[in-house]
């Protein structure tokens, strides 16, 4: 069955780089896109960016200068890297599969930006 699971450090210091991994199973990264969505504690959802089935990427313009999304199809993994982290980047980060719509989601990983 389709599954996605996020992993990464729970705590990151301000100005440092966040690295997250989304490991997927039950579908191919070359036939589906994977998106990242984040949710600050107690707040709403924000689309972060995507890697499409062909390998191209799209980013939220508000984050574009700090963001990179890549993948390793042999390992069924998608990677998110975001630099120059600030406290406002504290959030749950979800990865989600998309076939036009975000139909399967990971459980999310809580990332806290704090010294």
- The count of other CB atoms within 10 Å of the CB of residue 10 is 8
| Closer of 37 and 111 to another protein (Cβ) | 37
Query: Binding to another protein (CB under 8 A): which residues in 48-87?
Result: 58, 60-62
106 part of the interface to another protein, by CB under 8 A: yes
Binding mask 16-45 toward another protein (x if CB under 8 A, else -) reads: -------------------x-x------xx
Strands (E), the chain: 3-7, 11-12, 18-25, 33-39, 46-51, 57-59, 67-72, 77-82, 91-99, 101-105, 109-113
Which residues of this chain interact with another protein, rule CB under 8 A? 35, 37, 44-47, 58, 60-62, 94, 96, 100-103, 105-108
């Amino acid at each position: 069955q389709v599954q996605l699971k996020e992993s990464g450090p729970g705590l990151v210091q301000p100005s440092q780089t966040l690295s997250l991994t989304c490991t997927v199973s039950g579908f191919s990264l070359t036939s589906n896109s994977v998106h990242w969505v984040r949710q600050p504690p107690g707040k709403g959802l924000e689309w972060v960016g995507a890697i499409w089935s062909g390998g191209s990427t799209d980013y939220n313009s508000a984050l574009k200068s700090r963001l990179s999304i890549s993948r390793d199809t042999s390992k069924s993994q998608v990677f998110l890297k975001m630099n120059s982290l600030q406290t406002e980047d504290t959030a749950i980060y979800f990865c989600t599969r998309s076939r036009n719509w975000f139909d399967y989601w990971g459980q999310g990983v809580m990332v806290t930006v704090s010294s």
